[in-house]
A and B are shown apart, each in its own frame.
Chain A
Amino acid sequence: MIPNPLALIAEITHRCPLHCVYCSNPLQMVGAKTELATEEWLRVFQEATRLGILHLHLTGGEPLARTDLKDLVEGAHAAGLYTNLITSGIGLPESRLQALVEAGLDHIQLSFQDGREGPANWIAGAKAHAHKIALAPVIRRFRIAFTVNLVVHRHNLDHLEEMIAFVEQLQPDRMEIAHAQYYGWALKNRDRLMPTRAQLENCLRIVDAAQQRLSGRMRIDCVVPDYYARYPKACMGGWGRRLMLIDPSGHVLPCHAAGVIPGMQFDNVCHHPLEWIWNDSPAFRRFRGEDWMPEPCRSCDRRAEDFGGCRCQAFLLTGDAAATDPVCSLAPTHGVVESAQLRANSGEAQPAAWSYRLNPE
C-alpha cells in the first residue's frame, strides 16, 4: 500500500533577492510568467489535506515575492494545513507579518548565512544580514513558532560556536544546522563548500554539547553531510513515501532536485488531481519499492532503511539515476565521493570564485 504524504513543499516562486551559493533551487528556474495563480494554489491545498498532508512549507525562491502570500496562507489554514513560511525575511515589515499571522501562519523559518555580517552577505550575494537581525525581535512579538536555519560549510564551520551563540540571542524556539547538500547551485560550488573531515567531527561535538546545554529552551536539529557518511541518507524518507514538492508552475516532484533526472516527466496540478499524481503517476512510481534497485542495494539489509539513498545524487555523480547512491561505501562508484573527500582534505587550491544563484526571467 502507498502511504499518504505527510508534507507538501510548495515552491511558490523562484524569484529571490538573495543569490546564495548553495541554493537548492534547480539551475533551470521557473519564470514569473508561468507561476500558478492564487486560486490554483488554494485548490491544491484543499487536495493536499484530503490526501492526508498535515504540514505545508511555503518556500521559494523567496515566498514574500508573491503579493498574494496572505491569501495563500489563509487558504492553507482554512484547508487545515500547518503552515510554515521559509524565508530570508526580505520584504517583511511588521504589518505584513501581522497580516500573515492573522491569516493563520503557524511557523516561520528565517535563514541566516552566518553570524558575521561580512561572510553572511558574501554567501548570499546580497546585503541581507542586518535586515534579518532586525526582523528576529519583530517575529518574537507574535505567538508563532520561530526557527532559525543556518547552512554550514567549509567557510563558516570554524566559528560554529560563535554562530550558535549568535542564534541564541535571536531567541528562536528551534535552530536547524544544515550542512550544505550538493544539488543545484551547491553542486556547482561543491569544491568550495565541502568541509574537511576534521571540521565535520568538530561540528558534531559542538552540536552535541549545545543540544545538551540548551535542552528545553531551544531545540537544535542538525542535518549531517552525507559525503562523509558510511551509508546514504534515506533521501526525503524514500522516493514518493512522505513528501511531495510542487514547483512554481505546478509540476509535482518527489524532491527539490528530481528535475535533473533525464527522461522523467513530472505531471502538473493543472492537468491531474494531486491524489492521482501521488498514487499513480509514472514519476512517483519510478523509484518506489525495491524493483528498480540494483545490487548491492537489492540484497542489502539496509534497503528498507535508506531505500538505496538519493536518486538525484546517483544521477548527478554517476550519470545513472538507478545506481546505488555513490556516497554509500558499498557502492561500486563510491570512488567519485572518495576523490571529492580527498580534494576537500588535501589543502589543494579551491576554485577562485563562487557561482552565485541567478534569478529566473
Chain B
Amino acid sequence: MAPPVDSSQPRLAAGCRWGKQGDEPVVLFPEGMIRVQGTGQSVLELCDGQRSVEEIVGVLAGRYNSADPAKVREDVRAFLEALQQKRIVDY
C-alpha cells in the first residue's frame, strides 16, 4: 500500500490497542506487541481516525517548534507506512 497522504486519517488497525507493560505504554496486537516511546508515541497517540496527517504534522511541528514541518511530514509518513506494513495502523 502507498504511504499516507495529507488527508489520510490514520488510526490503530483493528485488533491493535494500547496497553501497559509495567508502567510503559505498549501497542498490543495478535501474538505480539511493540514498545513505543518518544516521538513514535506522540505520533501514534494522535492517530485517532479523526485527525488528518496534515493536522498531526501541524500539532507535532507546533510542539517541537524548532522542527522543519516538511521534515516532520516526511518522518510521520514513513513511520505510518512502516506500521501499516505490519498491520498496526491503517489509513
Q: Give residues in A with beta carbon < 8 Å to B.
A: 52, 54-55, 80, 82, 84, 106-107, 109, 143-147, 173-174, 215-217, 219, 221
Contacts and interface: CB of A to CB of B under 8 A. Distances in A.
Given A107-B15, A146-B15, A216 B84 contact: yes
Pick the 7 closest A-B CB pairs, nearest first. A145-B15, A82-B28, A143-B14, A107-B30, A145-B30, A216-B1, A107-B15
A143 B14 CA distance: 5
B30 A174 contact: yes
Query: Which of the listed residues A106, A215, A221 has the most CB atoms from chain B within 10 Å of its own CB?
Result: A106
Nearest to B32: A55
For chain B, which range describes its interface: under 10, 10 to 19, 20 to 34, or 35 or more residues? 10 to 19
20 contacts: A52-B21, A52-B22, A54-B19, A54-B26, A54-B28, A54-B33, A55-B28, A80-B20, A82-B28, A84-B30, A106-B30, A109-B30, A144-B14, A145-B16, A145-B29, A173-B13, A173-B30, A173-B87, A216-B85, A217-B1
Given A82-B29, A107-B30, A145-B29, 19 more contacts: A54-B21, A80-B19, A106-B28, A109-B30, A143-B14, A145-B14, A145-B15, A145-B16, A146-B15, A173-B13, A173-B14, A173-B30, A173-B87, A174-B87, A215-B85, A216-B84, A216-B85, A216-B87, A221-B31
Contacts of B71: none
Query: Which of the listed residues B16, B21, B29 has the most CB atoms from chain A within 10 Å of its own CB?
Result: B29
Contacts of A219: 87
A342 to B, nearest CB: 35
Query: Which of the listed residues B16, B17, B30 has the most CB atoms from chain A within 10 Å of its own CB?
Result: B30
A106 B17 contact: yes
B87 A147 contact: no
Contact of A147 (B20, B21, B30, B85): B30
A55 B15 contact: no
Nearest to A108: B15
Contacts of A80: 19-20
A46 to B, nearest CB: 14
A82 B32 CA distance: 10
Interface in B21-70: 21-22, 26, 28-31, 33
Contact of B15 (A52, A173, A216, A221): A173
Contacts of B22: 52
Nearest to B29: A145
Query: Which of the listed residues A55, A82, A143, A215 has the most CB atoms from chain B within 10 Å of its own CB?
Result: A82
Contacts of A173: 13-15, 30, 87
Contacts of A221: 31
B18 to A, nearest CB: 10
Contacts of B16: 145
A146 B13 CA distance: 11
A55 B31 contact: yes
Contact of B19 (A82, A146, A215): A82
Nearest to A147: B30
A109 B87 CA distance: 16
Contacts of B26: 54
A114 B52 CA distance: 42
Contacts of A147: 30
Nearest to B21: A54
A82 B27 CA distance: 10
A355 to B, nearest CB: 30
Contacts of B84: 216
A84 B31 CA distance: 9
Interface in B67-91: 84-85, 87
A52 B29 CA distance: 16
A109 B20 CA distance: 23
Nearest to B11: A143
Contacts of B20: 80
A107 B32 CA distance: 12
A172 B22 CA distance: 31
